[in-house]
Structure 1
């Protein structure tokens, strides 16, 4: 297997974890399987850059001296919002030469400005998805997943999602064992698929202003297998069902039914990932009632069955 060069672009006010997260993953994979990756960093003029958190990073070389890499990684950060035009020109010229083009967080904005995301599906940090879609209408922006693959181009959401994407690329290049070894070394889980949402149900929904509705949100999260019909939840809050449904949506930004669906899906996924409980038991305690009902929910939301989800995303036992 030929050694793959991974080149990470640096610029002033870059987000440090957008850089170091993928770098640690690929260098970890090189340690696990020597001869697989050669990780390098480069800035426009080869000069040190100061990250958005104040750290100074010394690149290996200037971008003008860098050869076309196998994988080109473009991180995000404050500097991606007002980039040096020379960086955009370099990406426009050299980005197409890489076998694989990757962005972390708002690095997607740099790729879009270089025209490298036109006609492609992409994501970025949730706070900048609207801006990316507005400023670059030729890009199909999906604000939900933690990372998106579209052919040779991969884009990821904020900060730690770059680690998830890098682990997925290592698994693709090498094998699952190599990616699991790196994940264990970094004390992260190799189990966040790209279609996992950037937010959990509790984070995606707003916290209700009124105490009775906040209590209902807590109850739903702690009792996914209970009767979570609108009538039951309304009674717990002391509202009529109609008033409860309207108030819940007004204060959380989602309907009770959608909130319950998301909580149950997350609960079932955690059980499939973290326990050896059978699918029938998981479906029962997660509120689906039957394995078939849970299977339909998984296929609709994730495009895979519970059994396949467990096979792909439950970490192997540490030996």
Structure 2
């Protein structure tokens, strides 16, 4: 069966892919063991699965939770189908489920809100190759969608990582800000590891405490650093973009224009070099 897989995001802990299966056979695929933990969200078509001998139907209003090591096979009664796949590393799964990587069994049924979050994630991911694309933001969005799905299977475990006190939440946010202050180029996964929290819990606590997302806060820091460098007379925009973790020079220009309303060249002229 021809499978077209487009990877939209790949980090050490998260993979997001757009998958299209063409020429699907009507019968069952060979039995195999699941090699990864994955969330499969059918967008078009129908898929029947046999998981550990139990049959289940996957459609656009459900999410299949693929558990590592499970015996599974599939059939495609309507022919071709299209789906989104989120693959998480074992440490990431454990972080989202209160420290235990064991994934509960079950089929997750979506809500209109979850379906919209899934489609908005895809829409944002497809702009990743264009100016303004940001892997940090995409990882934050992907992890949030995964957490919402797992939260329907194990709500208590997903919620267990939240700091209990206001002081603990403030300290977590301060630790994240301090870590970004020393390295604004780090990704979401490494930032979460640095502060000892799952990416999902860090994102939620940060937004609750600050009123903004980690992605927006990180971009504010990067714009502030860029303005300082431009004030000092920096002219190598490719080097500046690389130093601040932008994907390329157009990405830097996009962020500055979005944040300040001006291009780097105009900002350099407005600010002028600092005199000795």
Smaller-chain TM-score bracket: 0.3 to 0.5
Query: Which of the two has greater strand per residue?
Result: 2
Structure with more contact order per residue of length (Cα contacts < 8 Å, sep ≥ 6): 2
TM-score under structure 1 normalisation? Answer: 0.32
TM-score under structure 2 normalisation? Answer: 0.36
